[in-house]
Chain A
Amino acid sequence: MNNRRKFIKQMVLLFGASAMGNWACQPNNKYARIKGKILTGNNKRGHLLREGKFSKPTQTNYFDVVIVGSGISALTAARKLQQNNITNFTILELDDTIGGNAINGKNEVSAYPWAAHYLPIPNIDDKELLTFLQEHQIITKIDDKGIPHYNEEYVCAEPEERLFINGYWQDGLIPNIGISSEERKEIDAFFALIKSYKAAIGNDGKPAFTIPNFYSTTDSTYTDLDNISFYDFLKQKGFKTKALFWYLNYCVSDDYGTNLKDASAWSGIHYFAGRKGVSGNTEGDTVLTWPEGNAFLAQKLASTLQTHIQKNKLVYEIITNLQQVEVNYHCFETNTTKKIIAKKVIVCAPQFVNKRVVKNYPEIENSPFTYSPWMVANLTVNAYTEGTEGQPMSWDNVIFGSNSLGYVNASHQLLQTQKPQQVLTFYLPLNTKQPKEAREEAYEKSYEQWLDIIFEELKQAHPSLINHVTHIDIKIWGHSMIRPTVGLRKHLKKLIFTEGINQNTFFAHSDLSGISIFEEAFFQGNKTAAQVIKSLANA
């Protein structure tokens, strides 16, 4: 009997202790089941530039052309050189992966993007881009009327977008559920305005808005929209509906990482009016996307460049004179320093890097180049249905009122019919503060602090998400996108150095277009490569 009593006592104690233990451990260990970390980006490597301590180069190589960087503009330039039979070139990349903003990760569930993740159906007069897409069977054919047909495995699958608003997942991102008829009228009025801008032609016969924006009009009726913020523009036009302002802030955050008050009215309108995609087999306003995001396109661009690419190379000095260019770089693998003497160099890094690296980079007063910081997280999630009504899981899933852009289901384009697990890419533009402050804060935050932010942002729509996430990796982008702020375009027009220094040092980067999108980077790469090809031919 005593034994039994003792046994029961022990059991009670044991049970009680384990229950207490569970309770006590709960708050600290709420993320115990979630694996993952903050991935160190190339910012650490880049910061070596500030210190500027590099030994003398021990080896010198010779190339016709050096391309600095391996983002979209760099790869595009290299492709163009190759297509013009210039083969003696090399590509120097700081990171251990190529692609710049178009890089990806991959786990057992799916590939997933770390930044850029879609390409809208391009405008029909962007011929170079269409040709590239056709080279890689992304465009399957151009029909009799000259209209491209797209590979439907790459066209964003249905259901495309949903917005969580008033407790319901509605179809599409333009706020609709629970929006009053008055508010709806204002939203309609905004889109009517956009429609007129989309069709507008400037006094020089060029479109008011197009992509690449290089080809848009110089008519001041439209270019003056660069002088005013998108927010002020909307106020001037008499818009006041909160839902519309939230939606437009979402849009400029999505494409530019910039909020309504910092973005110029020109850029805000351009977001809608610049895109005039035409497709023979899909809607014109849809997008091309892949589980790995635009890394798919980067890999296609790089498909014939493998022997030219050198990774883990930090270019710390570009010395240009009338005869030649000297490119000095650090090799992380061997911890050595080398020199390349080249006829031409194409610098495909953003301008905030270039001013430190290119020796005769001109002094720019009140530099207009500012870059938005971002946090991107990839969440591996078990399939589960949250008790919310409306449209099922879509490609793009946005929560009304949130600062984040919501999440994109990276697994959406996978052909398999059943997905017990999915990877969701969560995007948070850090645009509520000025970039420098937001950037510094972002670098300070711990993994757990970021998880708090992620779950807080998604809580509304997915209160029990935390129980279904198995892995979260996080990446902080310090300078991810050029911000099309008020006046940027005017500044860009004045920067003649961007056409090249000494006829041998050229620049190609989407920040010179003022907009960080694939089409602009692709345009920059081609435009600059054409300059280089011409300049080599003249020599």
Chain B
Amino acid sequence: MDNETKTPKPPMGSPMLLLVSIFIVATCGLIYELVAGTAASYLLGDSVTQFSTIIGVYLFSMGIGSYVSKFFSKNLLAWFVQIEILVGLVGGFSSLVLFALFAQVDYFQLVLYVLVSLTGILVGLEIPLLMRILEGRYEFKDLVSKVFTFDYIGALLASIIFPIWLVPKLGLMRTSFFFGMLNIGVAYWVCYKFKNEIAWAKSLFSLATMSFIGLIIAFINANNLVNWTESTLFQEKIIYTKSTPYQRIVLTANNNQYKLYLNGNLQFNSADEYRYHEALVHPAMQQASSKKQVLVLGGGDGLAVRELLKYPDIDSITLVDLDQGMTELFSHNSMLKSLNNGSLTHPKVTVKNMDAFLWLKANNKLYDVIIVDFPDPSNFSVGKLYSNVFYSYLINALQNYGVCVVQSTSPYVARKSFWCINHTMQSVGFKTLPYHNYVPSFGEWGYILALKNKTFKAPQNFDSSFKFITKNVFEQMLVFPKDMDSVYTEVNKLNNQVLVHYFDEDWKHYQQ
């Protein structure tokens, strides 16, 4: 296209098309703001603060963009097309960038506000440039009135469809990719319409095409089926997912509550996990005559370790969790560190990323207290960690007067499973003390305290700083109502895996 000719500014073909494009640009602009605000509330919690600061920074950045617009004097159309493409890319990929970087970077807020500012500046440039492009083609009062009318209508539409339709149906990521594509669509249209007036129309066309393809690929892939099913499965906002060689970690957030799912099973809810972790850790610690050497098997979230670190007489805590992806996440992510008080990086804590069964078999050190916090025995792989062979290694790793506790699923929902764990532990020589408490996210939950060569002593007062457990509460936890009381079960062995079968039956029964 070497024979380009300059023509005087013609009026636009149909004013309707112009208005549509302003409308789209305005909608996109607000959508990016909403995406950033929503992502920030998912990821960081405290939605009032997040939305308020993001709206502020965004509007301020738009102001910067409007100010900067005066420095664009030539080739306005070409600039406008380029800015549309950039907005499409930056805005379109914004949610992906936020979710991807959340777990990776130490200063997530910095990334967030840089991104918000950048989007704001670019969006701020759009309307002033557009108005200047259209200057002279329309009467000024008409121009101002139409541009701002459609700008505000776009904003209204965006703010309505975003919560009602876009987030629930498309999800946050697809929404931003989709609006990125719309921005680029506008770039296309302007390019096409003014191809005779734009110096590098062809280059811009191919640039727009490449960006569009990029967004389409992202749109198809980023929200792949796994993600999609998970977001519908969890009914909460997924803020982080990671597939490690061992499991799929999903972190969700809703109204300041974080929930961690491992392979789709709830691991904790930040709102009430203290009930679980206090009940898991403190009774065992109170029974222990010595607390110097503590072993935690599983519990890669560091929440049990957080409770343990409340005992200054502990010399060292060894945590064995298979999944490095999990322990790294809970060691380095600032939001998750605020949940476990940075327990996994505490100098007394050593993290070993090994298979608990193999580690325990090879271990020859003795521990005063052992906390066992494995996922529920829902499959044959995990079922091994509740077998008599495993418990015989466990009892051998315990000091003569040591204490151990095992998270033992729900005695209400999975009554047979719970008592099977109890009987299996007894079969290798443990004296057991089953107890349970109520954790709203889990329901009735059960634990088995196990002693080697010592007798159970009556509960004393627990530290007053604890949020849940007291002497009276623990005494109550030892009482089993009739519908959760002991039932006959076989011993869980590697070669019968009865526990997995019980667990299956228990849950089927419960769900019917």
Which A residues have a C-beta under 8 Å from some C-beta of B?
Answer: 1, 4, 152-153, 155-160, 281-283, 286, 392, 415-420
CB < 8 Å neighbour of B497 from A153, A158, A415, A420: A158
CB < 8 Å neighbour of A158 from B1, B202, B203, B380: B380
Assess whether B317 is interfacial by the CB under 8 Å rule. Answer: no
- Contact between chains at B389 and A153 (CB < 8 Å): yes
- The interface centre, meaning the residue of B384, B388, B495 with most chain A CB atoms within 10 A of its CB, is B495
- Contact between chains at B384 and A415 (CB < 8 Å): yes
- The interface centre, meaning the residue of A160, A392, A418 with most chain B CB atoms within 10 A of its CB, is A418
Smallest CB–CB gap between B313 and chain A, Å? 32
Report B-chain residues with C-beta under 8 Å of the C-beta of A419.
381
- Contact between chains at A1 and B357 (CB < 8 Å): no
Assess whether B76 is interfacial by the CB under 8 Å rule. Answer: no
- Contact between chains at A152 and B389 (CB < 8 Å): yes
Which B residues from 358 to 395 make CB contacts under 8 A with A?
Answer: 358, 361, 379-382, 384-385, 387-389
CB < 8 Å neighbour of B358 from A4, A159, A281, A416: A416
Residue contacts A-B, CB under 8 angstroms, 28 given: A1-B1, A4-B203, A4-B206, A152-B388, A152-B389, A152-B493, A153-B389, A157-B380, A157-B494, A157-B495, A157-B497, A158-B380, A158-B500, A159-B497, A282-B496, A286-B495, A392-B380, A415-B361, A415-B384, A416-B357, A417-B355, A417-B356, A417-B357, A417-B384, A417-B385, A418-B246, A418-B322, A418-B381
- Contact between chains at B357 and A158 (CB < 8 Å): no
Assess whether B245 is interfacial by the CB under 8 Å rule. Answer: yes
Assess whether B2 is interfacial by the CB under 8 Å rule. Answer: yes
Smallest CB–CB gap between A187 and chain B, Å? 24
Which B residues have a C-beta under 8 Å from some C-beta of A?
Answer: 1-2, 202-203, 206, 245-246, 322, 355-358, 361, 379-382, 384-385, 387-389, 493-497, 500
Report A-chain residues with C-beta under 8 Å of the C-beta of B493.
152, 155, 281-282
Complex Cα–Cα for A509 and B391 (A) = 42
Report A-chain residues with C-beta under 8 Å of the C-beta of B497.
157-159
- Contact between chains at B494 and A155 (CB < 8 Å): yes
- Contact between chains at B494 and A417 (CB < 8 Å): no
Report A-chain residues with C-beta under 8 Å of the C-beta of B384.
157, 415, 417
- Closest chain A residue, CB of each to CB of B388: A152
Report B-chain residues with C-beta under 8 Å of the C-beta of A153.
389, 494
Smallest CB–CB gap between A290 and chain B, Å? 13
Smallest CB–CB gap between B45 and chain A, Å? 32
Complex Cα–Cα for A90 and B320 (A) = 48
Interface of A is mostly: loop
- The interface centre, meaning the residue of A1, A282, A415, A419 with most chain B CB atoms within 10 A of its CB, is A415
Smallest CB–CB gap between A514 and chain B, Å? 31
- Closest chain A residue, CB of each to CB of B360: A415
Complex Cα–Cα for A152 and B492 (A) = 11
Smallest CB–CB gap between B375 and chain A, Å? 10
Smallest CB–CB gap between A397 and chain B, Å? 14
- Contact between chains at B495 and A152 (CB < 8 Å): yes
- Contact between chains at A158 and B494 (CB < 8 Å): yes
Complex Cα–Cα for A496 and B47 (A) = 93
Beyond contacts A152-B389, A158-B495: 8 other A-B pairs, Cβ-Cβ < 8 A, are A1-B202, A152-B493, A158-B380, A392-B380, A415-B361, A417-B382, A417-B384, A418-B246
Smallest CB–CB gap between A369 and chain B, Å? 37
Smallest CB–CB gap between A532 and chain B, Å? 38
- Closest chain A residue, CB of each to CB of B495: A155
Smallest CB–CB gap between A1 and chain B, Å? 7
Complex Cα–Cα for A281 and B380 (A) = 20
Smallest CB–CB gap between B361 and chain A, Å? 6
- Closest chain A residue, CB of each to CB of B356: A417
CB < 8 Å neighbour of A418 from B355, B361, B494: B355
CB < 8 Å neighbour of B355 from A155, A286, A392, A416: A416
Smallest CB–CB gap between A11 and chain B, Å? 11
Complex Cα–Cα for A392 and B2 (A) = 67
Q: What 8 A-B pairs come out closest when comparing CB atoms?
A: A158-B497, A416-B355, A155-B495, A157-B494, A415-B357, A417-B381, A418-B246, A420-B245
Smallest CB–CB gap between A270 and chain B, Å? 25
Smallest CB–CB gap between B262 and chain A, Å? 12
Report A-chain residues with C-beta under 8 Å of the C-beta of B322.
417-418
- Closest chain A residue, CB of each to CB of B384: A417
Report B-chain residues with C-beta under 8 Å of the C-beta of A420.
245-246
Smallest CB–CB gap between A412 and chain B, Å? 10
Smallest CB–CB gap between B204 and chain A, Å? 12
Known A417-B355, A417-B357; contact A152-B494, beta-carbon cutoff 8 A: yes
- Closest chain B residue, CB of each to CB of A150: B495
Complex Cα–Cα for A153 and B361 (A) = 12
Smallest CB–CB gap between B396 and chain A, Å? 14
- Closest chain A residue, CB of each to CB of B206: A4
Smallest CB–CB gap between A366 and chain B, Å? 45
Report B-chain residues with C-beta under 8 Å of the C-beta of A157.
380, 384, 494-495, 497
Report B-chain residues with C-beta under 8 Å of the C-beta of A415.
355, 357-358, 361, 384, 389
Smallest CB–CB gap between A47 and chain B, Å? 43
Report B-chain residues with C-beta under 8 Å of the C-beta of A1.
1-2, 202
Complex Cα–Cα for A160 and B355 (A) = 22
- Closest chain B residue, CB of each to CB of A391: B380
